Amino acid sequence: MRYDAGEVITAMITPFNEDLTIDYPSLKKLINHLIDTGSDAILVAGTTGETPTLSHEEEAHMFTFVKNAVEGRVKIIMGAGSNSTQTAVESSVMAKKLGADAILSVVPYYNKPSQKGMYEHFAAVAKAVDLPIILYNIPGRTGVNMQPATIAKLASEFTNIVALKQSNSDLDLISDIKSLCPDDFTIYSGDDSLTVPMMSLGAHGVISVASHIAGKEIKEMVSAFKSGNNSEALKIHLKLYPLFKKLFMAPNPVPVKAALANLGIIKEYVRKPLVVLDEEEKKELLAIIDNYTCFI
Protein backbone atom coordinates (compact mmCIF):
# COMPACT_ATOMS: atom_id res chain seq x y z
CA MET A 1 0.00 0.00 0.00
CA ARG A 2 1.39 3.38 -1.03
CA TYR A 3 2.50 5.68 1.79
CA ASP A 4 0.76 9.03 1.53
CA ALA A 5 1.59 11.98 3.77
CA GLY A 6 -0.23 14.21 1.32
CA GLU A 7 0.81 15.95 -1.87
CA VAL A 8 2.21 19.18 -0.41
CA ILE A 9 4.49 18.80 2.60
CA THR A 10 6.08 21.98 3.95
CA ALA A 11 9.66 21.78 5.18
CA MET A 12 8.98 24.29 7.93
CA ILE A 13 11.37 27.04 9.02
CA THR A 14 12.20 27.58 12.69
CA PRO A 15 11.32 31.13 13.75
CA PHE A 16 13.70 32.84 16.19
CA ASN A 17 13.53 35.78 18.54
CA GLU A 18 16.18 38.50 18.44
CA ASP A 19 18.19 36.57 21.07
CA LEU A 20 17.95 33.53 18.72
CA THR A 21 15.79 31.46 21.05
CA ILE A 22 12.86 29.73 19.34
CA ASP A 23 9.93 32.12 18.86
CA TYR A 24 7.00 29.92 19.87
CA PRO A 25 4.19 32.48 19.40
CA SER A 26 5.35 33.04 15.81
CA LEU A 27 5.70 29.29 15.35
CA LYS A 28 2.04 28.80 16.27
CA LYS A 29 1.02 31.55 13.85
CA LEU A 30 3.12 29.91 11.14
CA ILE A 31 1.60 26.47 11.72
CA ASN A 32 -1.92 27.84 11.31
CA HIS A 33 -0.84 29.76 8.20
CA LEU A 34 0.59 26.61 6.60
CA ILE A 35 -2.48 24.51 7.34
CA ASP A 36 -4.79 27.28 6.11
CA THR A 37 -2.87 27.60 2.82
CA GLY A 38 -2.84 23.97 1.76
CA SER A 39 -0.06 22.06 3.51
CA ASP A 40 -1.02 18.40 3.91
CA ALA A 41 1.83 17.73 6.32
CA ILE A 42 4.54 19.64 8.16
CA LEU A 43 8.17 18.61 8.33
CA VAL A 44 9.79 19.69 11.60
CA ALA A 45 13.57 19.90 12.01
CA GLY A 46 14.58 19.55 8.41
CA THR A 47 17.35 21.54 6.73
CA THR A 48 14.97 24.45 6.17
CA GLY A 49 14.43 24.44 9.95
CA GLU A 50 18.15 25.20 10.49
CA THR A 51 18.74 21.91 12.27
CA PRO A 52 22.53 22.17 12.02
CA THR A 53 22.21 24.92 14.65
CA LEU A 54 19.48 23.31 16.79
CA SER A 55 20.21 21.09 19.77
CA HIS A 56 18.41 17.76 20.09
CA GLU A 57 16.63 19.18 23.14
CA GLU A 58 15.35 22.12 21.09
CA GLU A 59 14.19 19.78 18.34
CA ALA A 60 12.28 17.61 20.79
CA HIS A 61 10.67 20.58 22.54
CA MET A 62 9.72 22.18 19.22
CA PHE A 63 8.23 18.96 17.88
CA THR A 64 6.06 18.57 20.98
CA PHE A 65 4.91 22.17 20.61
CA VAL A 66 4.06 21.62 16.93
CA LYS A 67 2.18 18.41 17.67
CA ASN A 68 0.08 20.17 20.30
CA ALA A 69 -0.59 23.14 18.02
CA VAL A 70 -1.52 21.00 15.01
CA GLU A 71 -4.14 19.09 17.03
CA GLY A 72 -4.32 16.30 14.47
CA ARG A 73 -5.19 18.53 11.52
CA VAL A 74 -2.22 17.40 9.40
CA LYS A 75 0.52 14.81 9.63
CA ILE A 76 3.83 15.74 11.26
CA ILE A 77 7.13 14.40 9.96
CA MET A 78 10.35 14.80 11.93
CA GLY A 79 13.78 15.26 10.43
CA ALA A 80 15.89 12.59 12.11
CA GLY A 81 18.96 12.31 9.91
CA SER A 82 22.63 12.57 10.76
CA ASN A 83 26.02 11.80 9.27
CA SER A 84 26.51 9.53 12.28
CA THR A 85 24.51 6.33 11.97
CA GLN A 86 24.23 5.97 15.75
CA THR A 87 22.90 9.53 16.07
CA ALA A 88 20.43 8.94 13.24
CA VAL A 89 19.17 5.83 15.03
CA GLU A 90 18.85 7.70 18.34
CA SER A 91 17.03 10.62 16.68
CA SER A 92 14.65 8.22 14.94
CA VAL A 93 13.86 6.47 18.21
CA MET A 94 13.23 9.89 19.78
CA ALA A 95 10.88 10.81 16.92
CA LYS A 96 8.90 7.63 17.55
CA LYS A 97 8.59 8.42 21.28
CA LEU A 98 7.46 11.96 20.51
CA GLY A 99 4.66 10.72 18.26
CA ALA A 100 5.93 11.56 14.78
CA ASP A 101 3.85 10.22 11.90
CA ALA A 102 7.03 9.57 9.90
CA ILE A 103 10.70 10.54 9.75
CA LEU A 104 12.84 12.12 7.06
CA SER A 105 16.34 10.63 7.02
CA VAL A 106 19.03 12.30 4.94
CA VAL A 107 21.96 10.65 3.16
CA PRO A 108 24.96 11.08 5.52
CA TYR A 109 26.71 14.34 4.73
CA TYR A 110 30.37 15.38 4.87
CA ASN A 111 31.80 11.87 5.35
CA LYS A 112 30.65 10.90 1.81
CA PRO A 113 29.83 7.19 2.30
CA SER A 114 29.87 4.59 -0.46
CA GLN A 115 26.62 3.09 -1.73
CA LYS A 116 27.21 0.14 0.60
CA GLY A 117 27.73 2.56 3.47
CA MET A 118 24.46 4.32 2.68
CA TYR A 119 22.66 0.99 2.59
CA GLU A 120 24.07 0.00 5.99
CA HIS A 121 23.20 3.40 7.43
CA PHE A 122 19.54 3.32 6.39
CA ALA A 123 19.21 -0.37 7.19
CA ALA A 124 20.24 0.41 10.78
CA VAL A 125 17.61 3.16 11.01
CA ALA A 126 14.91 0.94 9.49
CA LYS A 127 15.66 -1.86 11.95
CA ALA A 128 15.56 0.53 14.92
CA VAL A 129 12.07 2.01 14.42
CA ASP A 130 8.80 0.92 12.85
CA LEU A 131 7.91 4.41 11.67
CA PRO A 132 7.53 5.18 7.95
CA ILE A 133 10.89 6.43 6.68
CA ILE A 134 11.31 8.97 3.88
CA LEU A 135 14.82 8.83 2.44
CA TYR A 136 16.32 12.21 1.55
CA ASN A 137 18.75 12.40 -1.35
CA ILE A 138 20.32 15.84 -1.75
CA PRO A 139 23.81 15.57 -3.24
CA GLY A 140 24.26 19.34 -3.32
CA ARG A 141 24.43 19.32 0.49
CA THR A 142 25.74 15.83 1.21
CA GLY A 143 28.45 15.69 -1.44
CA VAL A 144 27.35 12.27 -2.69
CA ASN A 145 24.38 10.90 -4.64
CA MET A 146 22.40 7.85 -3.55
CA GLN A 147 22.01 5.72 -6.67
CA PRO A 148 18.65 4.32 -7.82
CA ALA A 149 19.84 0.75 -7.22
CA THR A 150 20.61 1.56 -3.58
CA ILE A 151 17.21 3.22 -3.11
CA ALA A 152 15.50 0.23 -4.70
CA LYS A 153 17.37 -2.26 -2.52
CA LEU A 154 16.33 -0.41 0.62
CA ALA A 155 12.72 0.00 -0.54
CA SER A 156 12.49 -3.69 -1.42
CA GLU A 157 14.05 -5.07 1.76
CA PHE A 158 12.49 -2.81 4.41
CA THR A 159 8.72 -2.33 4.50
CA ASN A 160 9.03 0.88 6.54
CA ILE A 161 11.26 2.60 3.94
CA VAL A 162 8.32 3.95 2.00
CA ALA A 163 9.27 7.16 0.23
CA LEU A 164 12.01 9.38 -1.16
CA LYS A 165 12.57 13.10 -1.18
CA GLN A 166 14.65 13.58 -4.33
CA SER A 167 16.61 16.85 -4.58
CA ASN A 168 18.57 16.10 -7.73
CA SER A 169 17.96 17.87 -11.02
CA ASP A 170 18.87 14.79 -13.10
CA LEU A 171 15.39 13.66 -14.12
CA ASP A 172 16.70 10.46 -15.68
CA LEU A 173 17.22 9.26 -12.12
CA ILE A 174 13.46 9.45 -11.51
CA SER A 175 12.87 7.10 -14.42
CA ASP A 176 15.49 4.72 -13.03
CA ILE A 177 13.99 4.87 -9.53
CA LYS A 178 10.46 4.25 -10.83
CA SER A 179 11.72 1.32 -12.90
CA LEU A 180 13.63 -0.32 -10.05
CA CYS A 181 11.52 0.39 -6.95
CA PRO A 182 8.30 -1.32 -5.88
CA ASP A 183 5.19 0.13 -7.53
CA ASP A 184 3.93 1.55 -4.23
CA PHE A 185 7.17 3.41 -3.39
CA THR A 186 6.39 7.14 -3.12
CA ILE A 187 8.59 9.86 -4.63
CA TYR A 188 8.45 13.51 -3.61
CA SER A 189 10.18 16.31 -5.44
CA GLY A 190 12.62 18.03 -3.10
CA ASP A 191 12.80 21.15 -5.28
CA ASP A 192 9.76 23.32 -5.95
CA SER A 193 10.83 24.08 -9.51
CA LEU A 194 11.01 20.36 -10.35
CA THR A 195 7.59 19.38 -8.97
CA VAL A 196 5.70 19.30 -12.28
CA PRO A 197 8.58 17.68 -14.23
CA MET A 198 8.96 14.98 -11.55
CA MET A 199 5.22 14.39 -11.35
CA SER A 200 5.21 13.74 -15.10
CA LEU A 201 7.55 10.84 -14.28
CA GLY A 202 5.45 9.53 -11.41
CA ALA A 203 6.29 11.64 -8.36
CA HIS A 204 3.42 12.02 -5.89
CA GLY A 205 3.98 15.62 -4.81
CA VAL A 206 6.53 17.95 -3.24
CA ILE A 207 8.31 18.58 0.03
CA SER A 208 8.30 22.31 -0.39
CA VAL A 209 9.91 25.53 0.78
CA ALA A 210 7.83 27.86 -1.41
CA SER A 211 4.62 26.55 0.19
CA HIS A 212 5.40 28.91 3.10
CA ILE A 213 4.50 31.72 0.70
CA ALA A 214 2.42 30.21 -2.14
CA GLY A 215 0.89 27.13 -0.57
CA LYS A 216 -2.53 27.53 -2.12
CA GLU A 217 -1.22 27.85 -5.66
CA ILE A 218 1.24 24.97 -5.23
CA LYS A 219 -1.65 22.82 -4.03
CA GLU A 220 -3.70 23.95 -7.04
CA MET A 221 -0.77 23.15 -9.35
CA VAL A 222 -0.43 19.61 -8.00
CA SER A 223 -4.19 19.03 -8.04
CA ALA A 224 -4.48 20.31 -11.61
CA PHE A 225 -1.76 17.94 -12.79
CA LYS A 226 -3.33 14.97 -11.02
CA SER A 227 -6.74 15.72 -12.49
CA GLY A 228 -5.24 15.66 -15.98
CA ASN A 229 -5.29 19.44 -16.51
CA ASN A 230 -1.64 19.62 -17.49
CA SER A 231 -1.94 22.99 -19.20
CA GLU A 232 -3.25 24.57 -15.99
CA ALA A 233 -0.50 22.92 -13.95
CA LEU A 234 2.10 24.28 -16.36
CA LYS A 235 0.52 27.74 -16.24
CA ILE A 236 0.78 27.83 -12.43
CA HIS A 237 4.32 26.41 -12.53
CA LEU A 238 5.46 29.13 -14.93
CA LYS A 239 3.79 31.80 -12.82
CA LEU A 240 5.53 30.57 -9.67
CA TYR A 241 8.86 29.70 -11.29
CA PRO A 242 10.52 33.10 -10.60
CA LEU A 243 9.55 32.74 -6.94
CA PHE A 244 10.85 29.17 -6.79
CA LYS A 245 14.25 30.34 -8.02
CA LYS A 246 14.43 33.58 -6.02
CA LEU A 247 13.79 31.75 -2.74
CA PHE A 248 17.24 30.24 -3.26
CA MET A 249 19.05 33.48 -4.10
CA ALA A 250 20.82 32.99 -0.76
CA PRO A 251 21.23 29.89 1.42
CA ASN A 252 17.90 28.36 2.44
CA PRO A 253 16.00 29.41 4.60
CA VAL A 254 17.29 33.00 4.55
CA PRO A 255 15.08 34.23 1.66
CA VAL A 256 11.90 32.47 2.75
CA LYS A 257 12.33 33.90 6.26
CA ALA A 258 12.62 37.39 4.76
CA ALA A 259 9.45 36.76 2.76
CA LEU A 260 7.54 35.50 5.82
CA ALA A 261 8.75 38.47 7.86
CA ASN A 262 7.43 40.77 5.13
CA LEU A 263 4.03 39.09 5.56
CA GLY A 264 4.18 39.68 9.33
CA ILE A 265 4.16 35.99 10.23
CA ILE A 266 7.67 35.69 11.75
CA LYS A 267 10.80 37.74 12.35
CA GLU A 268 13.61 37.12 9.89
CA TYR A 269 16.36 36.17 12.38
CA VAL A 270 18.65 33.27 11.46
CA ARG A 271 21.40 31.58 13.41
CA LYS A 272 24.99 31.96 12.29
CA PRO A 273 26.73 31.01 10.07
CA LEU A 274 23.65 32.11 8.09
CA VAL A 275 23.05 35.84 7.82
CA VAL A 276 19.94 37.80 6.81
CA LEU A 277 19.54 39.35 3.37
CA ASP A 278 20.96 42.81 2.91
CA GLU A 279 18.58 45.60 1.88
CA GLU A 280 19.34 45.29 -1.84
CA GLU A 281 18.78 41.52 -1.78
CA LYS A 282 15.56 41.96 0.17
CA LYS A 283 14.30 44.53 -2.32
CA GLU A 284 15.04 42.09 -5.16
CA LEU A 285 13.14 39.26 -3.42
CA LEU A 286 10.13 41.36 -2.46
CA ALA A 287 9.84 42.71 -6.00
CA ILE A 288 9.14 39.14 -7.13
CA ILE A 289 6.64 38.50 -4.34
CA ASP A 290 4.81 41.77 -5.00
CA ASN A 291 3.98 40.50 -8.50
CA TYR A 292 1.59 37.93 -7.01
CA THR A 293 -1.63 38.94 -5.31
CA CYS A 294 -1.92 35.40 -3.94
CA PHE A 295 0.93 36.13 -1.48
CA ILE A 296 -0.75 39.14 0.13
- Considering the candidates 67, 75, 153, 165, report the single residue annotated as catalytic: 165
Please give the Cα distance from 197 to 178 (Å, whole number).
14
Q: Is the peptide bond before 273 cis (omega within 30 degrees of 0)?
A: yes
DSSP state, 285? H
CA angle 237, 239, 244 (to 5 degrees): 70
Please give the Cα distance from 5 to 242 (Å, whole number).
27
- Considering the candidates 109, 119, 136, 188, report the single residue annotated as catalytic: 136
Q: Which of 15, 63, 8, 7 is nearest to 34 (CA)?
A: 8
Residue 250's region, left for phi above 0, alpha for psi from -120 to 50, else beta, is beta
SS3 9: strand
| One-letter-per-residue 3-state SS of 207-254 | EECCHHHHHHHHHHHHHHHHCCCHHHHHHHHHHHHHHHHHCCCCCCCH
Is the separation of the CB atoms in 82 and 115 below 8 Å? no
Is the separation of the CB atoms in 237 and 59 below 8 Å? no
List helix spans (H) across the chain. Answer: 24-36, 56-70, 85-98, 115-128, 139-142, 148-157, 172-180, 195-199, 211-226, 230-246, 254-262, 279-289
Q: Clarify whether 136 is annotated catalytic.
A: yes
Catalytic residues: 136, 165
